[in-house]
Amino acid sequence: MSGGDSIIERVLPVVPATPDNVAPFGQILGYDPAVPPMPIDFYGGAVRVRRVVDFVSDEQTELPLVTVNRRPGEVRWMERHFKHTQTFIPLGGRPFVVVMAPPTTGELPDLDAVRAIRFDGQAGFTLKLGTWHEFPFAEQDGTHIIVVLRREASEGLVKENVVQDEARSGDLDKKDLLARCRVRFRLGPVAAG
């Protein structure tokens, strides 16, 4: 491999999931006392309903259960969705890390804006439309996550729809950053607090 073909490796420090850290990419899906309950008053106040995220989907939506095992902390692909705000809901309280970049109008994510965020397993998140992301990295084998997404997006990932290690549908744009940019991101250490 010549010098011009070498791979650039970028280490991403892993920061905790806080509303501020997640804001460029989406919203935390979990209890937030700052969000007032809706004026629904059945059951004498024993049930409180809060709208904590802005979920959008314009067509058939599904909720597959995904089991994630540990894998190397390397990011080769990133994807985005145009028609729904993909949502991840952890089950069992197991922590995981998600690599994300803000939405862009171009063909690729802004490589300087890619961030790694650690969720403790007590809350999930909802992505903004067009947010670039890689599938969560589990810290423990057998991490279960409910993924809320349009059926068109999940069908776009099926093996027979993948061309040259990339996938594309009306609601999915999955790019191979290694092939296109010669860049691979690697998860770094977890930052404190």
Tens-digit pLDDT profile for residues 15-67: 999 999 999 999 999 988 888 988 888 888 888 888 888 888 888 899 999 99
Task: Give the whole-angstrom CA distance, residue 126 versus residue 17.
Answer: 12
**Top-confidence residue, 163 or 21:** 21
Per-residue confidence band for 4, with pLDDT thresholds at 50, 70 and 90:
low
Q: Which of 157, 76, 149, 90 is nearest to 121 (CA)?
A: 90
Q: Which of 95, 98, 99 is nearest to 139 (CA)?
A: 95
Buried b (16+ CB within 10 A) or exposed e, 35-71: eeeeeeeeeeeeeeeeeebeeebeeebeeeeeebeee
Give pLDDT, residue 193: 61
Tens-digit pLDDT profile for residues 99-143: 999 999 999 999 999 999 999 999 999 999 999 999 999 999 999
pLDDT at 165 over 90: no
Give pLDDT, residue 70: 96
pLDDT at 2 over 50: no
Tens-digit pLDDT profile for residues 62-101: 999 999 999 999 999 999 999 999 999 999 999 999 999 9
Tokens of 104: 């862009």
- Domains of the chain plus CATH, in order, are 3-190 (2.60.120.480)
- Can you say how many angstroms the Cα of residue 137 is from the centroid of all Cα atoms in its chain? 10
Give pLDDT, residue 10: 96
Task: Give the whole-angstrom CA distance, residue 24 versus residue 115.
Answer: 10
